[in-house]
Every structure is written in C-alpha cells, then in structure tokens.
C-alpha cells in the first residue's frame, strides 16, 4: 500500500496539476504541500492544520476528503511514547511537610496579631460612659 503522500502525488499527477496550481487552488503554501506529498507531517504547524490541508488538497484533486483523512488517521495510529524518568535525587529530603509547617507557623502569627488588635484594651479612646475612670462633673449642685 502506498503512503498517503505518494497517493496524493499520484492523483495530482493524474490530473496533470503542478504543486503551484494546487497551492493557488487551496491557498496552502507550496512548502506545506511538498511536505504533505513526502509524508513529513511532523514538520507542519499542527495536526489541525494538517487535516485542513489534506481536505483542501483532496478537494482540489477530486478525491473524497473523508477517505484521505481516514488514510491519514490510519497512518498516524502508531504512537511513540518514551517513558518519563523520575529523578529521586532531585527531590528535597525535607519534603512537603516542612513547607506545611512554615505555612502553619505564619498563619498562627497572623491569627495572633489579628486577635491582639481586636481585643486590645482601649483606654482614652473609649466614650466617657464606658470608661471606668470617673470624670469630675463641672457645675454640680451641692
């Protein structure tokens, strides 16, 4: 079975169209069309763009876009996944507990400060009616 790029090139050549003509018809850059025909899909901007380019190309050469996209999907099914190595040496030995302890101490200090501000005794700024120190009454009747 031919690759998708060679399949597209064959159909373009059967219609006797140049890459430049396909580019004008699809508004896809010539360099992107050349990458499509040589199966270098990873060099294109992204899979969404590749799918759009393929649909436009298929319409321009008279192919069914769904068939072309199905071929593309079938050719991309193999995924190369390399396992991510986790380095245990990079982790600090103190771990997460140390950060939690510091956060707890800071919250405790802020809480204590807030309570001391709220419960601070107010001496001179209290109204006379609430003050415990009696003030002499001027002009009192004797």
Domain definitions of the chain by residue range: 4-75
User: Looking at domain 4-75, what is its CATH homologous superfamily?
Assistant: lambda repressor-like DNA-binding domains (1.10.260.40)
Quick check: 36 pLDDT over 60? yes
State the DSSP code for 127.
-
Is residue 39 within 8 A of residue 14, CB to CB? The reply is: no
- Looking at residues 75-80, what average pLDDT do you find? 65
Tell me, what's the pLDDT at 77?
67
Quick check: 31 pLDDT over 60? yes
Q: Which residues of 51-70 are buried (b: 16+ CB within 10 A; e: fewer)?
A: bebbbbbbebbebeeeebbe
User: Which is more confident, 53 or 98?
Assistant: 53
Res. 75 pLDDT band, cuts 50 70 90: confident
State the DSSP code for 25.
H
Residues 6+ apart with CB under 8 A from 72: 4, 41, 50, 51, 54
């Amino acid at each position: 079975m031919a690759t998708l790029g060679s399949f597209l090139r064959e159909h373009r050549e059967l219609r006797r169209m140049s890459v430049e003509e396909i580019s004008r018809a699809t508004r896809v850059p010539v360099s992107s069309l050349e990458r499509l025909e040589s199966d270098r899909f990873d060099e294109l901007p992204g899979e969404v763009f590749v799918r759009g380019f393929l649909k436009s190309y298929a319409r321009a050469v008279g192919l069914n876009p769904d068939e072309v996209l199905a071929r593309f999907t079938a050719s991309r099914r193999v995924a190369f996944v390399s396992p991510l190595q986790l380095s245990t040496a990079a982790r600090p030995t103190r771990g997460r507990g140390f950060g939690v302890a510091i956060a707890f101490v800071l919250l405790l200090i802020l809480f204590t400060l807030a309570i001391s501000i709220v419960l601070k005794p107010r001496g001179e700024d209290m109204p006379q009616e609430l003050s415990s120190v009696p003030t002499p009454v001027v002009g009192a009747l004797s």
